[in-house]
Structure 1
């Protein structure tokens, strides 16, 4: 079946000397993997390798057989042209981290328009703004809403956040907990949009500790989750 859909590139892997296997999150069908035969050597083809950089927003004309095998792309063009996302070193480090993160988290071949629209908006915001040190944390906090485990907003004044139960509590338990400066920072990310991160002031140590706790939160709630290898690079650029 031929499908025309918006899509966001999650990853690309060289296959042989001339081809790519590209993993893409589509608006029409969720996660899809495509084999781009000869794309690395073809000079006249409609597909260019530069289109498949991480988190690029595309419009695809693709053939979907929906049999669990690699699909094919007939045409691809930019749906949105980024100005800074792949050229500025800090933003590119965030892109590499998020693309790996989303590749780990998104596993379903089914339509999720809410998640797709969120990713479109969040990536364009990152491209257009400069104060982005707090961006990865809010991106992940919002992402939990689409994956089904957004933190319970009741009793946010309590001194502990139970990472296993996803709620604030007045007393610690044997479950992994968040407290102290990390929790003070965490509260500031709840219920805000991306513009709301600009005035948030965190020390480097608190930001890294909070990101570490958020990643643990994903590990506790998402089966098969593992911390992205690109986390070290992300921490380095904000060091």
Structure 2
């Protein structure tokens, strides 16, 4: 079998049989790919490998290509970089679970997308390292993900604008239909799209504001991509934040 080296971020894993896993990765070499990992759950196997396949964990690997392009295998797999806080901080792990499910639902392409992969890889490192602004990170992530998936506001924002979701434009007047963001959510969309991740802690949002803006972002993404409506971890996210 042909071998190749790459980096990946874990999106989802499923138990397969008594001792194996099916693992879905977003990779730099081939978009979303599926891998069979054998022996990872057995008592005699290397139990440490199981810890690699948690949501949004970064890995480096040497893969073996399946002749029928179904599920590849790993010749070697290890942590892409050492996570210092994400596995141990319930807030960060909740955000990571949400990010992984969103990407699992939305990203289906098996072709490389360098800009998208680099953004996702860097986002893991940024979430792991951040000390302030964790409660806003998923909002920042969704806003920038929408841009990388090919849709973002088509004009400049000015204070007091409404964002017309169906037209993809900021507007001075409230749209006559129901697919729009409130003035506050429109402001936050602009702020998230222009905010450096290091400044997220300076955006003061209450719980109700955060939930309202998350709902607006999900409506925005759902207008373009139906799969976002199947994301289940959003309920946990709302409870934590």
Q: TM-score range by the shorter chain?
A: over 0.9
Q: TM-score, normalised by structure 2?
A: 0.92
Return the alpha-carbon distance in structure 1 between the equivalents of residues 213 and 67 of structure 2: 40
Q: After TM superposition, give the deviation of residue 47 of structure 1 in Å.
A: 7.5
How far does the alpha carbon of each residue in 1:203-231 deviate from its partner, in whole angstroms, 9 at most, with x for none?
A: 21111100110011111112433242111
Corresponding residue to 2:232 among 229, 233, 236: 229
- 1:32–1:109 Cα contact (<8 Å) kept: yes
Q: How does 1:1-239 map to 2 (within 5 A)?
A: 1-41=2-42, 43-44=44-45, 48-65=49-66, 67-131=68-132, 132-171=134-173, 172-238=175-241
Q: How many residues align?
A: 238
Q: After TM superposition, give the deviation of residue 72 of structure 1 in Å.
A: 1.1
Return the alpha-carbon distance in structure 1 between the equivalents of residues 144 and 44 of structure 2: 41
Q: After TM superposition, give the deviation of residue 17 of structure 1 in Å.
A: 1.5
User: What 5-or-longer segments of structure 2 have no aligned partner?
Assistant: none
- 1:164–1:221 Cα contact (<8 Å) kept: no
Change (3 A) 1:70 1:42: farther
RMSD of aligned Cα (Å): 1.8
User: What 5-or-longer segments of structure 1 have no aligned partner?
Assistant: none
- 2:66–2:73 Cα contact (<8 Å) kept: no
Return the alpha-carbon distance in structure 2 between the equivalents of residues 114 and 147 of structure 1: 10
How far does the alpha carbon of each residue in 1:157-190 deviate from its partner, in whole angstroms, 9 at most, with x for none?
A: 3531011222111221315011133233333212
Q: TM-score, normalised by structure 1?
A: 0.93
SS in 2 for 1:133: helix
- 2:160–2:183 Cα contact (<8 Å) kept: no
